[in-house]
Amino acid sequence: MSSPLRLGIAGLGTVGIGVVKIVQKHAGLLAMRSGREVAITAVSARDRMKNRDADLSAYRWEDDPMAVATADDVDLYVELIGGDNGIARDSIQAALRAGKDVVTANKALLAMHGQDLALLAEDLGRVIRFEAAVAGGIPVIKTMTESLAGNDIGRVMGVMNGTCNYILTRMESAGLPYEAVFEEARQLGYLEADPQLDVGGIDASHKLAILSAIAFGTQVDFDAVEIEGIERVSIDDIRRAADMGYRIKLLGVAQMTARGLEQRMSPCLVPADSPLGQLVGGTNMVVLEGDSVGQIVLRGAGAGEGPTASAVLSDIVEIARGVRMAMFGQPASRLKTARPARTAVPAAYYMRLELQDKPGALAKVASVLGDAGISIDRMRQYGQHSDTSVPVLVVTHKTTPEAIDYAIQTLPRTGVLVSDPVELRIEEV
Amino acid sequence: MSSPLRLGIAGLGTVGIGVVKIVQKHAGLLAMRSGREVAITAVSARDRMKNRDADLSAYRWEDDPMAVATADDVDLYVELIGGDNGIARDSIQAALRAGKDVVTANKALLAMHGQDLALLAEDLGRVIRFEAAVAGGIPVIKTMTESLAGNDIGRVMGVMNGTCNYILTRMESAGLPYEAVFEEARQLGYLEADPQLDVGGIDASHKLAILSAIAFGTQVDFDAVEIEGIERVSIDDIRRAADMGYRIKLLGVAQMTARGLEQRMSPCLVPADSPLGQLVGGTNMVVLEGDSVGQIVLRGAGAGEGPTASAVLSDIVEIARGVRMAMFGQPASRLKTARPARTAVPAAYYMRLELQDKPGALAKVASVLGDAGISIDRMRQYGQHSDTSVPVLVVTHKTTPEAIDYAIQTLPRTGVLVSDPVELRIEEV
Ligand SMILES: NC(=O)c1ccc[n+]([C@@H]2O[C@H](COP(=O)([O-])OP(=O)(O)OC[C@H]3O[C@@H](n4cnc5c(N)ncnc54)[C@H](OP(=O)(O)O)[C@@H]3O)[C@@H](O)[C@H]2O)c1
Ligand SMILES: NC(=O)c1ccc[n+]([C@@H]2O[C@H](COP(=O)([O-])OP(=O)(O)OC[C@H]3O[C@@H](n4cnc5c(N)ncnc54)[C@H](OP(=O)(O)O)[C@@H]3O)[C@@H](O)[C@H]2O)c1
């Protein structure tokens, strides 16, 4: 057996402690599977006195993550602090320069600085792995970089923020409005310190941008993701969508088109009986489409101590085994600059309109849709919603986002709507 | 860039030609992702004159796969002939001895001789990869050996024979009996030359035995799989199960228990709204349970040219990249002999009984179940089935297979059944 792989772990929160526990519990299994011992030598976090759910007495404590990243007795630096800048980034760079490989779970950092870090690692002949950064325990990075290596990938989709999926699922099951469930989620500790990262779709978009880079051989381009969060999803739309056989999910889609790379994160309708539609609670799902393999669906826990630590360990074992992979599945220096394109791939759309309850209202709506070149697949008019308005649901045939934008801007000018029209894309899954 | 990886491909059927096509179509992509060119130098099949769906003129033709396996200008031998013995096995051994690595899709061979081949490869410092052997395009071997390396795996389940799933799905959707759909499948070319491999559950059991070895660090033990095919699944049971919220699937389950390793392949009931229950047609699904990661579900095409070739290519690219993995995720010499155990893990069971339509019949049944220690969760008595019999469905609470066996043997002795009782396990998924 070769010499032990010596880990330095910075960050002893949910994920960091999860990693420590697995290394302690499965020392024998890990040694057998890696062909060498996996041992922790040094750890770091902010507060040395904090009570943590693991015995750390056998490891050297460092107040400064930089000391772990550059220590002589560390072969692999495991960054589990978080943050898209500052100490996480600085310490990873220092570790690479000190000749260490790196494992991280930090999607925010990779979404912002992934390309630079990959280039630095490549220059220095070091490896950065990050399976835990996207969809927690689901092996999506490995599947894309390795299992689909023989495929031209056409589209990547995913529900990759468990908190948003929890909120949407819970709104439906409990019949509660967004604000109430948001408050519940906050009290349950499901939300990030800055909830916009979750409900604003930012966290999920970090992940989508990373997957796009691998799928399409392009540099990570987080700024080009069209992002919409779940704040405007109403219980009304969830119910109406269910009536029509759909569920609403915060869905990320990345797709290479002739015009360029489309990346969008937005609440979408998906068929209630599709794998994505069936996904309830905090579970994540990623759907990958390759020209040879067809559609692959991966499902599992997207966050939490065990699943995320499991993904970190898979990276650690790969490095222990001597596997040296380019970060995004090919040399970073060869990644093309993505040509971002606004969403133009046609789709069916769902529209909810609150019409004045008077003759001719529907005719005016139909005429606007006709002018926009939108043809109607299904339409439902419900009984009066209030004294004066009736809800009308429209599912369109495939149409362009431009046509929908035109309709949404023009419809209020008909004077027959009592509130702003709602539209949601129906993603073909 | 390093020197090209030179492939010798034996077997130019569905999978072999699929591999040739990808290598030709994606030469650039493969080189970029592998860090070196991937080139075919020699090929072999039985009939040189056969019209094949690819241009093979650039490759040396060998009538004998042994010549490909041992050629000086071949680095990697790709065995896509099939068969659990004979030329497939001989040529793989010859290739290893000649210093080649091997990629194969041959589950039958690995189920029978996987341990010996792994030992031979290990002795010789060579690598055998076989992602395509289990569940086609689904990256289950990679996920188990690599992504779950930090997990103690508790249970592995899967629907891994597309033909069986097609037959069961089609029986339900078309309301046709087994024999009729079997005949359809035969005419569509879905069945192996020996249909027992499919409908008898053998092919799926080959795959299960391979997964067990990886999951539990034990030597492949195909003979210990308790196998039951789908021949006795009736349209009646499919309909009744649906009534109670279940679907019938040919499900493989491998599970380590205190008494030993349980491996079974049998028609089971699963909740209709579970991921396994939702699986229709030829799609495959594998469910993996690890102590840290929780439950991971992988879904995709389990067979066919593109998906299977995609899996073969993932192995080829790994070898091109220089990745050297022990075949079952750890040294073959360290794999333990599995201690096989007959299924004893309790489960709920479904029973269908055709009772004589006379007073006291149900009481006699209830009394046998009571004697067996089986308690009833749900029972449904339907209207008369024929002039003289009524169907009764029972869903039991969790009970042992022994208790069920006792009941099934004892029930006919009550004299109130008009036909043999049917039981099916309800697997908790
Ligand atoms: N939680 C998940 O389910 C999950 C899933 C996927 C990816 N991730 C990613 O994994 C990373 C860690 O997440 P987490 O949930 O484990 O975070 P966490 O629970 O907040 O833990 C962060 C850790 O970093 C330490 N830390 C913060 N600033 C530091 C500094 N300047 N120097 C040294 N240590 C410092 C903290 O120290 P103290 O403990 O002393 O405060 C704490 O131990 C993040 O990048 C996150 O995005 C998390
Ligand atoms: N098909 C799938 O979807 C699938 C999925 C997973 C795994 N697999 C596995 O992949 C392997 C190949 O399957 P397949 O479906 O591609 O089989 P196939 O279409 O029947 O092709 C078999 C090939 O092997 C050649 N062959 C047979 N005996 C030979 C011999 N003695 N010498 C040289 N060549 C010989 C045949 O030559 P001729 O063409 O000249 O007759 C044919 O090209 C099998 O192990 C199978 O279990 C298949």
Q: What is the domain partition of chain A in residue ranges?
A: 2-104, 140-301, 348-426
Q: What is the overall mean pLDDT for chain A?
A: 96
Pocket lining: B230 vs ligand 2, CB cutoff 6 Å: no
Question: How confident is the model over A279-327, as pLDDT tens digits?
Answer: 988 899 999 999 999 999 999 999 999 999 999 999 999 999 999 999 9
DSSP state of A226: E
Distance CA A23, CA A139 (A): 19
The count of other CB atoms within 10 Å of the CB of residue A239 is 12
Distance CA B63, CA B43 (A): 9
Virtual torsion, Cα A220, A225, A231, A233, nearest 10 deg: -120
Distance CA A318, CA B264 (A): 31
Indicate which residue of A100, A107, A142, A207 is catalytic: A207
CATH code, residues B348-426: 3.30.70.260
Residue B299, H or E segment: strand B294-301
Chain A residue numbers with beta carbons less than 8 Å from the beta carbon of B217 are: 32
Question: Among residues 63-82 of chain A, which lie with CB inside 8 Å of chain B?
Answer: none
Write down the residue that tokens 């468990």 correspond to. A162
Chain B residue numbers with beta carbons less than 8 Å from the beta carbon of A294 are: 137, 300-301, 306-307
pLDDT at A2: 83
Cα B310 to its chain centre, rounded Å, is 18
Strand locations in B199-324 (E): 226-227, 246-257, 260-271, 283-290, 294-301
Contact A90, A66 (CB under 8 A): yes
Distance CA B179, CA A219 (A): 55
Contact B34 A298 (CB under 8 A): no
Q: Residue A358 catalytic? A: no
Q: Which ligand is nearest to the CA of A82?
A: 1
Q: Which residue of B has its CA nearest to A214?
A: B33
Task: Tell me how far apart the terminal alpha carbons of chain A are, to the nearest angstrom.
Answer: 47
| Interface predicted TM-score (ipTM) | 0.95
Chain A residue numbers with beta carbons less than 8 Å from the beta carbon of B147 are: 131, 139, 142, 310-311, 314
Amino acid identity, position B259: R
Residue B69, H or E segment: helix B65-70
Per-residue pLDDT of chain B (429 residues; tens, 9 = 90+): 589 999 999 999 999 999 999 999 999 999 999 999 999 999 999 999 999 999 999 999 999 999 999 999 999 999 999 999 999 999 999 999 999 999 999 999 999 999 999 999 999 999 999 999 999 999 999 999 999 999 999 999 999 999 999 999 999 999 999 999 999 999 999 999 999 999 999 999 999 999 999 999 999 999 999 999 999 999 999 999 999 999 999 999 999 999 999 999 999 999 998 999 999 888 999 999 999 999 999 999 999 999 999 999 999 999 999 999 999 999 999 999 999 999 999 999 999 999 998 889 999 999 999 999 999 999 998 876 667 789 999 999 999 999 999 999 999 999 999 999 999 999 998
Fold type of domain A140-301: Dihydrodipicolinate Reductase; domain 2 (3.30.360)
Question: Among residues 110-169 of chain A, which lie with CB inside 8 Å of chain B?
Answer: 131, 137-139, 142-143, 145-152
Asked if pLDDT for residue A384 goes beyond 90, the answer is no
- CATH of A2-104 among 3.40.50.970, 3.30.565.10, 3.40.50.720, 3.20.20.140: 3.40.50.720
Q: If you compute the radius of gyration of chain A from its CA atoms, what whole number of angstroms results? A: 24
Distance CA B291, CA B103 (A): 30
